[in-house]
């Protein structure tokens, strides 16, 4: 049966943006998003220096904003870190944690990601917990073992009440930035597995939003978002183009209307 969860589409700008370009993009996304129905939520996760700009340009609209990582610490001698509370002071709603690029390039462990999720929740942010397998792991038949382990580390650290407040993004590493999305069926299969894992934590946790990320484009978004356990997307490259990002938000509307 089709689910009744609201769709959520979040852009992850990664290491992109400059003040002048951001202004044009944020204004276009904000005004385009004004026309979307309430049951499709939209967010953008910007580089930290642009949080104030996002706040100024988005606070009167319906697009939420957030960051792409936060520190596992609240304060102290941790040069270069940004605390969840700092992001919250700029009105952030979301913090991506455990993106595969951070796991790979910054050696973030499953336990560290779990602590970051906890810090985000303490500061009133919604952690978007990313999980995903590499191509090698998929081909070795280890997808469930990998994504299950990544999710379990976070769930083990959180109470049922806290776990019910997270968002999970399934992002197969082999689909990120490659133009080669998972098929809707491949993504749905993993989402159904993750949903069962969430439900095992508690009834309220079963309805956590499960986003798909990895080469989502206007052309494939509706089919992905129409799957029973896919509640929206975490969008990289296409979130840097207002028309593409808004078309993906439109696909979330169409997928909602079709259910």
How far apart (Å, rounded) are the C-alpha atoms in residues 13 and 16?
Answer: 6
What element of type H or E holds 169?
strand 167-170
Q: Which is nearer to ligand 13P, 66 or 237 (CB)?
A: 237
Given the residues 99, 108, 118, 222, select the one marked as catalytic.
Answer: 99
Point out which span in 76-84, 160-168, 170-178, 202-210 binds ligand 13P (CB under 6 A).
170-178
Does 235 contact ligand 13P by CB under 6 A? yes
Could you tell me where the DSSP H helices lie in 158-203?
A: 160-163, 184-201
Candidates 80-88, 136-144, 157-165, 230-238 — which segment interacts with ligand 13P by CB under 6 A? 230-238
- CA–CA separation, 130 and 145 (whole Å): 15
The one catalytic residue among 101, 118, 133, 171: 171
Assess 215 for contact with ligand 13P (CB under 6 A): yes
- Cβ distance to ligand 13P smaller for residue 12 or 30: 12
Which residue has the CB atom at the shortest distance from ligand 13P?
236
Q: Are the beta carbons of 245 and 238 closer than 8 angstroms?
A: yes
Does residue 171 have an active-site annotation?
yes
Token duo for residue 17:
């943006």
| Rounded Cα–Cα distance for residues 2 and 27 (Å) | 33
Out of 17, 98, 232, 236, the only residue in the binding site for ligand 13P (CB under 6 A) is 236
171 binds ligand 13P, rule: CB under 6 A? yes
Q: Which stretch binds ligand 13P (CB under 6 A): 22-30, 55-63, 138-146, 212-220?
A: 212-220
Query: If binding is defined by CB under 6 A, does position 104 make contact with ligand 13P?
Result: no
- In the three-class reduction of DSSP (H, G, I as helix; E, B as strand; rest coil), residue 6 is classed as coil
Report how many residues bind ligand 13P under the rule CB under 6 A.
Answer: 14
* Residue 249 near ligand 13P by CB under 6 A: no
CB 124 within 8 A of CB 162: no
Task: Measure CA 6 to chain center.
Answer: 14
Binding-site member from 234, 248, 249, 251 for ligand 13P (CB under 6 A): 234
Near ligand 13P by CB under 6 A: residue from 127, 172, 213, 250: 213
Opening angle at CA 139, ends 138 and 144, nearest 5? 30
Nearer to ligand 13P, 177 or 228 (CB): 177
CB 186 within 8 A of CB 223: no
Q: Report 73-102 residues binding ligand 13P (CB under 6 A).
A: 99
Cα 133 from chain centroid? 16
Task: List, in order, residues 6 or more apart from 237 with CB less than 8 Å away.
Answer: 177, 215
Q: What residues make contact with ligand 13P under the rule CB under 6 A?
A: 12, 99, 171, 176-177, 213-216, 234-238
Residues with catalytic roles = 99, 171
């Amino acid at each position: 049966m089709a689910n009744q969860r609201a769709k959520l589409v979040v852009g992850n700008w990664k290491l992109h943006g400059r003040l002048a370009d951001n202004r044009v993009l944020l204004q276009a996304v904000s005004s385009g998003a004004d026309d979307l129905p309430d049951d499709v939520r939209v967010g953008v996760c910007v580089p930290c220096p642009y949080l104030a700009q996002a706040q100024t340009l988005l606070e009167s609209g319906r697009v939420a904003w957030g960051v792409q990582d936060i520190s596992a610490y609240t304060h102290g001698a941790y040069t270069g870190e940004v605390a969840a509370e700092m992001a919250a002071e700029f009105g952030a709603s979301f913090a991506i944690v455990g993106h595969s690029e951070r796991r790979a390039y910054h050696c973030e462990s499953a336990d560290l990601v779990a602590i970051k999720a906890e810090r985000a929740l303490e500061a009133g942010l919604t952690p978007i917990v990313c999980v995903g397998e590499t191509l090698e792991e998929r081909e070795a038949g280890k997808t469930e073992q990998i994504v299950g382990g990544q999710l379990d580390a976070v769930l083990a650290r959180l109470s049922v009440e806290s776990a019910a407040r997270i968002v999970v993004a399934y992002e197969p590493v082999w689909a990120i930035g490659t133009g080669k999305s998972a098929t809707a069926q491949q993504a749905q299969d993993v989402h159904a597995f993750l949903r069962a894992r969430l439900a095992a934590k508690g009834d309220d946790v079963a309805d956590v939003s499960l986003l798909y990320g990895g080469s989502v484009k206007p052309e494939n978004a509706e089919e992905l978002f129409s799957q029973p356990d896919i509640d929206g997307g975490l969008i990289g490259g296409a979130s840097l183009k207002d028309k593409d990002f808004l078309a993906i938000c439109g696909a979330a509307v169409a997928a909602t209307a079709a259910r």
